[in-house]
Structure 1
Amino acid sequence: MRSLVALSVLGVALSTSAVPAAADGLERVVVAATGHDSASCGLPTTPCRQFQKALERVLPGGIVVTAGPGSYGTMKITKSVSVLNDGAGIAMVEGGAGQPVIEVNVPDSGPVVLRGLTIDGRDAASAGISFAAGGHLLVSKSFIKGSKMGIRIAPQFGGSVTIEDSLVTNNGTGVASSGASPGQLSVVLNHVTISATRWDFGDGIGLRVVGRTGAKQFVAMTDTTISNNNMGPLGAGVGCRRGRGDGDQQRHRQQ
């Protein structure tokens, strides 16, 4: 009998620990257009409404996922997280008058993944995505438009950024990258299109790379098209030079 009681008590303890308290957060948080931003939102049955609330609810290293199409507001990301929209329809991240639509500022240098998002600055945001601090940022299968800078890469202490399978269009500047000292910055563009930058909203440069004293910066492009901009790739600043490996003319096209 005592064994049965002990097993029963253990079962209750296990079942209780499997359900996190509201203050503890969740490893996987769901957002939906039908959701509500409550203190306990995030489960599939009680999704959050805005990405920002979902970021408050998710644990470091966790995942925020969309349950359907919708407009989910702006984001300030301060911890390692993945924000994913995998086939649930168009997930809009909009707004940011004079501010970035998505700001990535992760003090502990954790990785951040943004996938399947439509990021619209509505001709008002300073940047579609601003990478200010973090270990690694991956932007995948996303559409970035309508900001002064489509993607601004200016980390305080270096890091790495990968942009893949994405379209950056109709921004003042497409992608702007500048290194910081101390630290090393690595930027890789793979199967990216940067197009239709605008003089009326920025400098009209498709890709701008700025070198700084004491900073180490490496930018590489594969199968990337930079076209229909007022200016193509521009390198400026201390120690900035352009290199080309075998076959780069086929992989990188400036029109």
Structure 2
Amino acid sequence: MIDPSRVGRVFPLLALMASCLAATIQPANAQATRTWVSGVGNDANPCSRTAPCKTFAGAISKTAAGGEINALDPGGYGAVTITKSITIDGGSGQVASVLAAGTNGIIINAGANDVVTLRNIQINGANGTPTPGLNGIRFLAGSSLVVDNVRIFGFSQSGIDINLNTASAVRVMVTDTVVSTSATGIFAKNAGSGRVTVSAQRVSLLRNSTVGFKADSTTGSAQLLCAISDSMVAGNAIGVHAAGGAAGGTLIQVTRSSVVNNVNTGILTDGSAAARALLSNTLVSGNDTGVASAGGGQLFTYKNNSVNGNVTADGAFSTPLTPE
């Protein structure tokens, strides 16, 4: 016969044990704020530090929105598509690589309020192979993109392709980054109406076969406001190109930088009067033509630049400005 007093004591104990067990068991689809990848990892792992994943694509599904993926050691971590706020950090002093033959390296197609940061990564387009990569970083949607200390090279289209269609304002910040040997180094456009700001500081745009930096507002009605500072633009076909349309507008400001030894033109504005470049404390030398405009494009100077030593012509600015 069961003692009622014992039953009263057993049921609370069972309830307590069940509660503790539930607290220690994580759901199979739980996402961590920080995950890890390793060259010797496995995507079947939970992506913890002691059981890391193998690829960025394997880790991203196990990383919570707003979280961070970190690389433990050198490795090839594969192409990835990002659809949420996240940081991917390859770590300093090692090679955390994305090899993207025949495809895009990193695609960002995130939400309107999402912020994506890419840091300490090498993205290789395998230039010279039968199937080179398309774009190193392709930014299709999101609120902000930060590219910090990234090496991008060897792509058949753009190293960084900012290719938006949005009515919202979008910001892109590129620092301490090298983009080289692609068709275009950095390309920016918005087929919608939202203002796009692109800030490039301590960036090297080198030996890109079409153009080093191009902002194009010939489609859509967006304003593209770009700033290049403390940077090197060298060995490209065209160094910096501002293209303006009938509805949209492009302004590229170049400050404390060197636009040198480009095959054709150092600074070019064309398409309409809405295509504008403004230079301050910048060297423009060794290009075939230093500065040039066409189709109403405008060239502004603060009268403190060094534009000389270009092969065919130095060119001329359309409007001098008085610095404040």
For the criterion TM > 0.5, the same-fold answer is: yes
Aligned in 2, Cα 1:103/1:150: closer, same or farther, shift over 3 Å?
A: same
CA contact (8 A) 1:232 1:254 kept: no
Per-residue deviation, 1:96: 4.2
For 1:222 and 1:20, the matched residues in 2 are separated by 48
Could you tell me which of 66, 70, 83 is aligned with 1:78?
A: 83
State the identity %.
25
What TM-score do you get using the length of structure 2 for normalisation?
Answer: 0.69
For 1:76 and 1:240, the matched residues in 2 are separated by 29
Per-residue deviation, 1:243: 5.0
**Residue correspondences, number:** 244
For 2:99 and 2:46, the matched residues in 1 are separated by 21
Per-residue deviation, 1:14: 8.7
Relative contact order, higher structure (CA 8 A, sep 6+): 1
Per-residue deviation, 1:240: 3.2
What TM-score do you get using the length of structure 1 for normalisation?
Answer: 0.86
Per-residue deviation, 1:21: 2.8
Larger radius of gyration: 2
Report whether the alignment pairs 1:134 with 2:148: no
Report whether the alignment pairs 1:42 with 2:47: yes
Report whether the alignment pairs 1:225 with 2:232: yes
For 2:159 and 2:120, the matched residues in 1 are separated by 16
Please give the per-residue CA displacement for 1:184-224, whole angstroms capped at 9, x wherever unaligned: 111000110100112xxxxx211111013411211011111
Map of 1:4-153 to 2, 5 A cutoff? 12=20, 16=24, 20-38=26-44, 40-87=45-92, 89-97=94-102, 99-123=103-127, 124-148=132-156, 149-153=158-162
Unaligned runs of 5+ in 2: 1-8, 258-278, 286-324
| Corresponding letter in the other structure for 1:230 | A
CA contact (8 A) 2:33 2:64 kept: yes
What is residue 176 of structure 2 aligned with on the other side? 165
Please give the per-residue CA displacement for 1:139-191, whole angstroms capped at 9, x wherever unaligned: 00110001121110112214111000111111111111112323111100011
For 1:11 and 1:246, the matched residues in 2 are separated by 63
| Corresponding letter in the other structure for 1:119 | I
What is residue 195 of structure 1 aligned with on the other side? 206
For 2:177 and 2:256, the matched residues in 1 are separated by 24
- Aligned-residue RMSD, C-alpha: 2.6
For 2:283 and 2:225, the matched residues in 1 are separated by 19
